[in-house]
């Protein structure tokens, strides 16, 4: 399954080598013009019309970075991307270019000087089985990336779980959309470094100068979400984010199309952030988001039906937009 391969590939922000190679190879199956720019974004270009549109996803995932050595052969580390530190202890991980297996250790509660509801990275370490600092230095370099060791799988009949659902779900949807031809000047942009400032999207926006942008991403939902947003009820189409007001006309047309085609969807008035859309804020831009539980963690959960309905909605919109409707 393509989504399984995408999620199981490694690609922490700034270290997207494995996932970039995989997506580039996959995109070339459907698109003749596939390139990688200087920052590492993949651009799959299908010029079948005049209207210039970007479908934007990010390829990177949250992870960790090695920042120091301890005398006992363990490593100090910090995060790449926003991660709840409370989920860090006792995780299994892969470290460095050779993907050495390791475990995240945590200072036992009974010897902690201060007890807090928030775990600090300074109370944790990564253990790969080294006996001393010199042995550790010979195996792992400062700045090496760390990826969570979580395998993709389906469960519960209608759901999937795994690491990097944020945003390999978007990558999966975009790759599937690229199989078709539309009467559009279409750019499928697989951006890097979204988790550390949306740097890839900033470059793409400047170079391509699109007429319209659709950001395909996931959104983290809580079990006690008071807005009624939930898994299995369709993609989320937000109105505003912390930094952006989405194009009102575009938002309305997508809702009308979803109603016409009987595609389930959910509307959320306000979302905290969709980083890539902030890079396109001068353009006609909108986000279509797949609801996801426990996003930006070592393991997330999403609905298979939501993923399919998101893809169908975007596909219907591209066909409609290409006809000028």
- Please list the active-site residues: 194
144 annotated ligand-binding residue: no
Taking alpha carbons only, the member of 217, 234, 238 closest to residue 295 is: 217
Compute the CA torsion angle 103, 107, 110, 111 (nearest 10 deg). 140
Within 179-320, strands assigned E span: 185-191, 212-221, 236-241, 266-271, 284-293, 300-303
**Is the Cα torsion angle 293, 295, 300, 301 positive or negative in sign?**
positive
Beta pairing partners, 102? 93
Q: Is 217 annotated as a binding residue?
A: yes
* 27: three-class secondary structure by DSSP: helix
CA distance 26 to 211: 26
User: What's the rounded Cα separation, in Å, for the pair 165 and 294?
Assistant: 10
Question: According to the annotation, is 18 in a ligand binding site?
Answer: no
Q: How far apart are CA 281 and CA 101, in angstroms?
A: 41
User: What six digits make up the tokens of 225?
Assistant: 């979400």
Specify which residues 219 forms β-bridges with: 291
Give dist(CA 175, CA 171) in Å, integer. Answer: 6
283 three-class SS? coil
Annotated binding site for Zn(2+): 58, 166, 217
Annotated binding site: 58, 166, 217
């Amino acid at each position: 399954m393509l989504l399984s391969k995408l999620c199981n590939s490694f690609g922490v922000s700034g270290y997207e080598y494995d996932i970039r190679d995989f997506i580039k190879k996959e995109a070339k199956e459907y698109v003749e013009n596939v390139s990688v720019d200087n920052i590492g974004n993949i651009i799959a270009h299908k010029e079948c019309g005049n209207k210039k549109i970007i479908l934007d996803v990010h390829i990177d995932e949250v992870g960790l970075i090695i920042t120091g050595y301890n005398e006992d052969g363990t490593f100090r580390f910090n995060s790449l991307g926003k991660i709840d530190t409370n989920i860090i202890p006792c995780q299994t991980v892969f470290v460095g270019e050779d993907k050495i297996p390791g475990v995240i250790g945590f200072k036992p509660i009974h010897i902690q000087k201060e007890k807090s509801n928030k775990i600090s990275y300074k109370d944790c370490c990564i253990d790969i089985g080294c006996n001393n600092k010199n042995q550790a230095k010979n195996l792992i370099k400062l700045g090496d990336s760390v990826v969570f060791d979580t395998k993709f799988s389906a469960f519960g009949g209608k759901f999937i779980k795994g690491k990097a659902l944020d945003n390999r779900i978007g990558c999966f949807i975009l790759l599937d959309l690229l199989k078709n031809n539309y009467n559009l000047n279409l750019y499928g942009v697989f951006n890097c470094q979204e988790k550390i400032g949306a740097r890839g999207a900033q470059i793409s926006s400047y170079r391509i100068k699109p007429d319209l942008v659709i950001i395909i991403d996931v959104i983290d939902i809580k079990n006690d979400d008071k807005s009624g947003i939930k898994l299995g009820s369709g993609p989320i189409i937000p109105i505003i984010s912390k930094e952006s007001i989405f194009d009102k006309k575009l938002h309305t047309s997508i809702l009308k199309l979803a109603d016409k085609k009987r595609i389930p969807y959910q509307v959320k008035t306000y979302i905290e952030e969709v980083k890539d859309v902030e890079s396109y804020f001068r353009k006609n831009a909108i986000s279509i988001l797949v609801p996801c539980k426990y996003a930006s963690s070592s393991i997330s959960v999403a609905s298979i039906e939501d993923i399919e309905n998101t893809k169908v909605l975007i596909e219907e919109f591209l066909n409609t937009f290409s006809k000028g409707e």
